[in-house]
């Protein structure tokens, strides 16, 4: 009985020794792993988030003098890149070697996973080409009045809480959900007034704080090879069914000619029917083509990622930005002065007015530098790549990760990186200052401008009407505690602010 046990122990020992020598055998420096979690045991024990752990590994590699280093998530070898010039090359000049993100995608078993973020190769290129016209400046301008209607509701809700502590992130998630429901799906969600609205409940489940969500996200984005074996879906069946039915019903209404709206799903319906989507073009359905170029499942997947990408990024960006501005009274004063100057004479908030608010833009950029909401860039090597100035060749199918928390808080590139300093983006801005919160190169986030417009519009609506202060004076000197269970950067506890009507 003892001999078989010893044999099993020996086999496991030899297997993990061989697995954890992957990088050494290829001449790549590695940070020492420990079985069975590799270099991320604290993440799986929920002591720290994956993004924070990756940032720690980034800084450790930098201290050891490495431009790149091998690490392990469970038994999965990952190349962690810490040098900004190498990152830049991989994302842009040498993009053909790193086309894919390597995230979970299984269109047959998990149809909502077949979205632009995760699609690979030729499928990704075709979908990107189709969707790009939906995110032009002209299309955003056309959708802007719909966004502003949600902005007015936001102010009305805050009017009811003047002088009382307000959980700002919760409110901002409801605001962004209402905007996305309207400009994405043509729905009047009104979760700012009704937090239990079904669309919000279904859409928000993707980012729910639970062990189930944490495991799904880690498997989908950090250990996709393990996920392919386990076949874990990203969403529950009822969420999937809700999204598919919602898109199916909307298609029927739009193709039937009964409803036309200037929203994202109208553009998808046009693309599905081979109607040319162009700036200045009609939003009408001038033909219903029998040869559909987008399936219901493909449309649902693109709509779903539109929802989730905008929902978390915008709400958390506004929350973190308000937190930092409330800790820096001089900065919030400068932002309000700029807003007052641009809006002088009773000018309405418009797309053009937002474009003039350059200091506010710098505040958002600095927020995203310090708090990159999607804190890790994922890539997979799609063809062998020789790292410049080395003899190291990255093999096909190797997973590559870039810690944005590590890179954008790296003292080599940013002086006093934990200081919130929007003036970094004035005349002092340098090409050596890495800022990849929306990615870079051909796979840069397609909704970058829409996300920024939503955040700016919300901040202008808030800061033009209200002064804010932190409920807890102690928060003035501390940092926000981040949720260790989530892959995205999110505060563990909501930020409580007290709004007061401005006296200009």
Instruction: Please compute the mean of the pLDDT values over residues 98-116 and round it to a whole number.
Output: 93
Q: Quick check: 34 and 384 in contact, CB under 8 A?
A: no
Going by C-alpha positions, the residue among 203, 218, 228 that lies closest to residue 120 is 228
- How far is CA 388 from each of CA 86, 166, 181, 285, 326, rounded to the nearest angstrom? 8, 51, 46, 51, 44
| Annotated binding-site positions | 445
pLDDT of residue 225: 77
Helices (H), 69-197: 84-91, 121-131, 137-159, 168-185
* 2-501 to CATH, choices 3.30.590.10, 3.40.50.920, 1.10.630.10, 3.30.70.20: 1.10.630.10
Instruction: Please compute the mean of the pLDDT values over residues 130-137 and round it to a whole number.
Output: 88
Residue with the bigger pLDDT between 21 and 484: it is 21
Instruction: Please tell me the distance from the alpha carbon of residue 71 to that of residue 82, in angstroms, as a whole number.
Output: 12
User: Would you say residue 414 has pLDDT above 70?
Assistant: yes
Q: ∠ CA 243-170-183 to the nearest 5 degrees?
A: 45
User: Would you say residue 288 has pLDDT above 60?
Assistant: no
Residue spans per domain, the chain? 2-501
Q: What is the full DSSP assignment across 245-299? A: HHHHHHHHHHHTTS---SSHHHHHHHHHTT----TT---S-----SS-SS-HHHH
Instruction: Please compute the mean of the pLDDT values over residues 37-66 and round it to a whole number.
Output: 94
Q: Quick check: 399 and 76 in contact, CB under 8 A?
A: yes
pTM: 0.93
* Structure confidence at residue 231 as a pLDDT band (50, 70, 90): confident
Q: Taking each helix axis from N to C terminus, what angle separates 296-327 and 329-342, rounded to the nearest 10 degrees?
A: 120
Both tokens of 383, joined, read 């063809």
Chain segment 238-254, per-residue pLDDT in tens: 999 999 999 999 988 88
Chain segment 321-369, per-residue pLDDT in tens: 999 999 999 999 999 999 999 999 888 999 999 999 999 999 999 999 9
Chain segment 52-78, per-residue pLDDT in tens: 999 999 999 999 999 999 999 989 999
Residue with the bigger pLDDT between 466 and 432: it is 466
| Annotated binding-site positions for heme | 445
Q: What is the full DSSP assignment across 355-376? A: HT-HHHHHHHHHHHHHS-SS-E
Instruction: Please tell me the distance from the alpha carbon of residue 205 to that of residue 203, in angstroms, as a whole number.
Output: 6
Instruction: Please tell me the distance from the alpha carbon of residue 245 to that of residue 239, in angstroms, as a whole number.
Output: 10
User: Would you say residue 309 has pLDDT above 90?
Assistant: no
Instruction: Provide the percentage of residues in the chain whose pLDDT is more than 70.
Output: 94
* Structure confidence at residue 214 as a pLDDT band (50, 70, 90): confident
């Amino acid at each position: 009985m003892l001999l078989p046990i010893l044999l099993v122990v020996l086999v496991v020992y030899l297997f993990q020794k061989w697995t954890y020598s992957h990088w050494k055998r290829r001449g790549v420096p590695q940070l020492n792993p420990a079985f069975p979690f590799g270099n991320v045991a604290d993440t799986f024990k929920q002591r720290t988030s994956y993004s924070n752990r990756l940032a720690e590994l980034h800084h450790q590699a930098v201290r050891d003098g490495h431009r790149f280093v091998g690490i392990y998530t469970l038994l999965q070898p990952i190349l962690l890149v810490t040098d900004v010039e190498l990152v830049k090359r991989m994302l842009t000049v040498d993009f053909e070697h790193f086309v894919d993100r390597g995230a979970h995608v299984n269109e047959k078993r998990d149809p909502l996973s077949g979205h632009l973020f995760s699609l690979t190769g030729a499928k990704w290129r075709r979908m990107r080409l189709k969707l790009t016209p939906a995110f032009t400046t002209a299309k955003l301008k056309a959708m802007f009045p719909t966004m502003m209607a949600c902005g007015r509701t936001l102010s009305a809700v805050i009017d009811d809480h003047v002088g009382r502590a307000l959980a700002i992130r919760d409110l901002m998630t409801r605001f962004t959900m209402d905007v996305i429901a309207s400009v994405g799906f043509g729905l009047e969600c009104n979760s700012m007034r009704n937090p239990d609205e079904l669309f919000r409940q279904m859409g928000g489940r993707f980012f729910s704080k639970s062990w189930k969500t944490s495991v799904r996200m880690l498997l989908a984005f950090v250990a996709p090879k393990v996920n392919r074996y386990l076949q874990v879906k990203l969403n529950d069946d009822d969420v999937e069914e809700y999204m598919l039915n919602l898109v199916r019903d909307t298609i029927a209404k739009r193709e039937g000619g009964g409803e036309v709206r200037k929203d994202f799903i109208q553009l998808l319906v046009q693309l599905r029917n081979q109607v040319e989507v162009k700036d200045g073009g009609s939003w009408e359905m001038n033909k219903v083509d029998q040869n559909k170029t987008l399936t219901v499942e493909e449309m649902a997947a693109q709509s779903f990622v539109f929802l989730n990408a905008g929902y978390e990024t915008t709400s958390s960006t506004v929350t973190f930005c308000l937190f930092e501005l409330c800790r820096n009274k001089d900065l919030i004063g400068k932002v309000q002065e700029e807003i007052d100057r641009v809006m002088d004479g009773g000018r309405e908030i418009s797309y053009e007015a937002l474009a003039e608010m350059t200091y506010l833009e710098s505040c958002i950029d600095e927020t995203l530098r310090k708090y990159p909401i999607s804190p890790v860039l994922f890539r997979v090597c799609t063809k062998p790549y020789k790292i410049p100035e080395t003899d190291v060749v990255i093999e096909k199918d190797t997973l590559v990760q870039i810690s944005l928390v590590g890179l954008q808080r790296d003292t080599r590139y940013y002086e006093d990186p934990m200081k919130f300093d929007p003036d970094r983006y004035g005349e002092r801005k340098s090409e050596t200052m890495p800022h990849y919160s929306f990615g870079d190169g051909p796979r840069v986030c397609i909704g970058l401008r829409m996300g920024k417009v939503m955040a700016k519009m919300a901040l202008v609506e808030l800061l033009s009407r209200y002064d804010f202060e932190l409920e807890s004076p102690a928060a003035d000197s501390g940092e926000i505690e981040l949720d260790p269970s989530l892959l995205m950067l999110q505060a563990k506890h909501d930020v409580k602010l007290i709004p007061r009507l401005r006296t200009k």
